[in-house]
Structure 1
Amino acid sequence: MEQYYKLHRLKELADDDQEFILALASTFIDEVPSDAKVLKLAVENKNYLLTYQTAHKMKPTVDMFELGILDDIIEVQDWGKFEKKEIDITDKLNIVLDAIDKATNEIIQDFNL
């Protein structure tokens, strides 16, 4: 089974403190899926500022859990920041949303959340 997130950086940051890792996993579940919904709607509605703000907020968590989509979320963020109206960012957004959905489901299972 493919793993959609990794804990290498998180374990290093937490000094392998399992309670801290669980707390961060819980925070991921509490915040990232709802942020992803906001991001999706922001892009669909061409709300560039909200797209930028939401993607920017999500970047550290996506990076910490090593979802492998940091470059993609940065592209979505920059689309919003620079109001790149001529670019269709849908493919990058879908990559981000798919990775978040898969990682979320896996974290819920792995941490019994």
Structure 2
Amino acid sequence: MEKHYKLHRLKELADNDQEFLFALASTFIEEVPADAEILKVAVENENYLLTYQTAHKMKPTVDMFELGILDDLIVVQDWGKLEQKDKNITAQLNSVLAAIDRATKEIIQDFKL
């Protein structure tokens, strides 16, 4: 079964150092699901600044783990940055949240976290 995250870039960055990869995976588990929850609540409450800040913070990690949702995350980020009150970003937000949830479960299992 294909994973919902990829380690190609991370292995290159880590020069295949398993301890470093483990540390990166641990950091993902500690930060990204919590940030995803903050993002969800910020969007629900139309807190544009927090939406922008949280999505912006998440971008490098989402990109590094190649979750395949960077474009959706950027739409959410821009919604917050530009305060696009009339734009519906529900589909993009749900895509981001679902991908993070799937990747989190797989990383926990794969790295025995």
Give the TM-score, by structure 2 length: 0.99
* Alpha-carbon separation, structure 2, partners of 1:94 and 1:103: 14
SS in 1 for 2:75: helix
Q: Does 1:54 align with 2:60?
A: no
1:63 alignment counterpart: 63
* Alpha-carbon separation, structure 2, partners of 1:68 and 1:77: 16
1:101 alignment counterpart: 101
Q: Which runs of 4+ in 1 moved over 2 A?
A: none
Query: What do you get for the CA RMSD once the two structures are aligned?
Result: 0.5
Residue-pair matches, total: 113
Q: Percent identity?
A: 78
* Alpha-carbon separation, structure 1, partners of 2:17 and 2:75: 33
Q: Does 1:16 align with 2:16?
A: yes
Cα distance, 1:2 vs structure 2: 2.8
For each residue in 1:16-72, what CA deviation from the matched residue of structure 2 results, as whole angstroms up to 9, or x when unmatched? 110000000000000000000000000000000000000000000000000000001
**Code of the aligned partner of 1:47:** N
Unaligned runs of 5+ in 2: none
Q: Does 1:111 align with 2:107?
A: no
* Alpha-carbon separation, structure 2, partners of 1:58 and 1:67: 11
2:87 alignment counterpart: 87
Unaligned runs of 5+ in 1: none
**Code of the aligned partner of 2:111:** F
